[in-house]
Structures are given as structure tokens and as C-alpha cells.
Amino acid sequence: MLRTNTSRSSHRNAYLRFRCASALAVLAAAMAIGTSAYAAGTLAGTNIENIATASYDAGAGPVDIQSNVAVILVDELLDVTVVSSNPGDVGTTNGATNAVLTYQVTNNGNGPEVFTLTPNVANSGDDFNPTLSQVVLDTNNNGVYDAGVDTIYVAGTNDPLLTPDQSITVFVLTNIPATQANGDRANVSLVAAANTGTGTPGTSFAGAGEGGGNAVVGTSGADGEASGFLRVDAASVALAKSAVVADPFGGTTAVPGSTITYTIVATISGAGSLNNLAINDPIPTGTTYVPASLTLEGAAQTDAVDADAGNFNGTRVGVSLGNVPAGQTRTVTFQVTIQ
């Protein structure tokens, strides 16, 4: 479906002011290290210029002449991709709020472009529809949703402006109904569409491109889409870890030779049980594991892989807890020595 939108003009003007202010610096850098390569090729708004020459012998010596300058303005290609950053289904629970799915939006075009983001929680072919809470932009670029730090997205107000090859991480937060069955899945998709326009590849918007050239829809249709999936787990687990230090002098200072006792408490909540629950904890850098210090529910575990639940493989401790019903806890402890 063909769509145009001129709302990106203020974003584009800001980009143009930045581009003009930094032109000399960019030119110097290009001369020093070569021209940057972009996924979509030459930057939109670039003039491709060429002059032909001819020479002939006029009797008194060679004469050179030049043609007129042939100038081609590179049009702007509108292309975008959206991918899910979730490695698989994201587990959640009945009644959960702000369940997070993560996506990455990349400008694959050759010019700066503003994109409108549209989430969809009512896709077909899944088990239930969550309720949309909000869409959030990853302000600090760490790839993790940080409540109160990352910026809430409002369509038409803070649509992201992306330069060629630039990406932004986007979080879609939803609320889960309280009555879903264990294993139910929800398909939540995110669409990113170029504000300049979308449509069939090859569609051209006259004068709407960078530098006054045309804007041409690329192979993506200038609107990319990806899905992420939520899965309801009737039971869930939370881990709480604490540490107690005992130094060689009878105190609690953390000095070389001190012993740290770590306690990990796994609390299973919800309904049903968690199957094949396991805890793994790497030995911290700067410490060494105290042999035979691993315990589960107060019972000593051997370091070898054998009949009991625990083991130490040289770099981490591991405990296999099996199937644990909701409402129960499991406590693991082990010790290390500060080097």
C-alpha cells in the first residue's frame, strides 16, 4: 500500500544542519582514511560528476578540450529491516505486567530517514492476545529495558531518525491476561515504516529525497516487520544471591585469604512446577573455589559428576534441582577464597 508522509521535515532539517556543520571534518577524514562504505551504497544527495576530455594535434602542438560536466544526483533509497532480538520464546506468567519483547530496527537505505513504529498484539495463529502497555526506545543503547531510563515512544512525536546503517533497539511491553493456560503463546509484532513513504519496490517520490533528489522505495517496501513470542509458564523462578565474608583475622574484611560464602535461594512461584531446573554459578575472577564446599539444602555435594545433584567443573559450580513444585524454595551454598 502506497503511503507518504511529510512529518519528517523537522528531523531532516536538523540532520542537514548537522551535516553542513561537519562537512569539512568529514571531508578531511575521508581524505585521510578513504570513503566510508554503506550497506545501500553511495549516500543520497551525493553528486556524481564526470568530465570527458579530448586532445588533438593542431600543428603548433597538442590541444586539449573538455566536455561539459555531467552531474547525476544520487536518489535516496528507502529500506528498513526489523528483527527480533529475543533468542526464543520469552517466558512470562499469568497476570504479569510489562512483559518485554526486544526488536532491532535498522535503516538499510542510503539517506537519513525517520521511521514510524507500530506494534501489533492481535496477530492470528497464536493462543492469546496480550494488552499493549507501551513501546520504549533504548535510550542508553545497552540492549536491556531500563524502566525510568529508556524513552517511552509516542508515534508522531519522537519517531526515531536513523542515519544510513544506523540501528535502534525497541522494546514492546505488554500485560498478560490472568487466565492463560501453561504453554500458551502470543505473537507480538513490530512494524517500522519510512515516514517519507512506503509501497511497491521502485515507487518514487519526486523531490522527497536527501538533497532534493527523489526518494525511491527499496526491496523492503520501506516497511519492515518482525515477530516476537511470549510463552506463559504457570510457574516461574526467582534467584536471590547473598555473600558473607570471613577474613583470616576473625573479621569480615575482603582481603587476600578471606573466604566468601555465597548463598543462592531459588524461589518457585505461580502454579504447577518447573521441570529440569538447574543452577549454575561461575567462580568469580580473583578467587578460587573451596573444594567440597558445595551444599544443597544444607546437604554436602561432591565436586564430581556423580549420583548427587551438585558438581564443580573447574570454572563453575552447578546443581541440578530436577522438577520443583511452585511454592517451594531450594538453597545452594558454596565457598571461594580471595587470591
* pLDDT one-digit tens code per residue, 140-172: 999 999 999 999 999 999 999 999 999 999 999
Task: Match 506468567 to its residue by C-alpha cell.
Answer: 93
Residue 159: CA count within 13 A, CB half-sphere: 23
Domains 1-233 and 235-338 share a fold: yes
280-304: b or e for each residue (b if 16 or more CB lie within 10 Å)? ebebeeeeebbeebbbbeeeebebe
**Maximum alpha-carbon separation in the chain:** 106
Q: Where are the domains of the chain?
A: 1-233, 235-338
228 CB-contact burial (10 Å; exposed 0-12 / middle 13-18 / buried 19+): buried
Cα–Cα distance measured from residue 127 to residue 180, given in angstroms and rounded to the nearest whole number: 9
Q: What is the mean pLDDT of residues 284-297?
A: 98
C-alpha cell at 173: 511491553
CB neighbour list of residue 19: distance below 8 Å, 6 or more residues apart: none
* CATH architecture of the region 235-338: Sandwich (2.60)
**Crossing angle of the two packed helices 23-33 and 9-21, in degrees rounded to 10:** 60
pLDDT in tens, 201-241: 999 999 999 999 999 999 999 999 999 999 988 777 899 99
Residues in the chain: 339
Domain 1-233 adopts which CATH fold?
Answer: Immunoglobulin-like (2.60.40)
pLDDT of residue 15: 47
Q: What is the model's pTM? A: 0.64
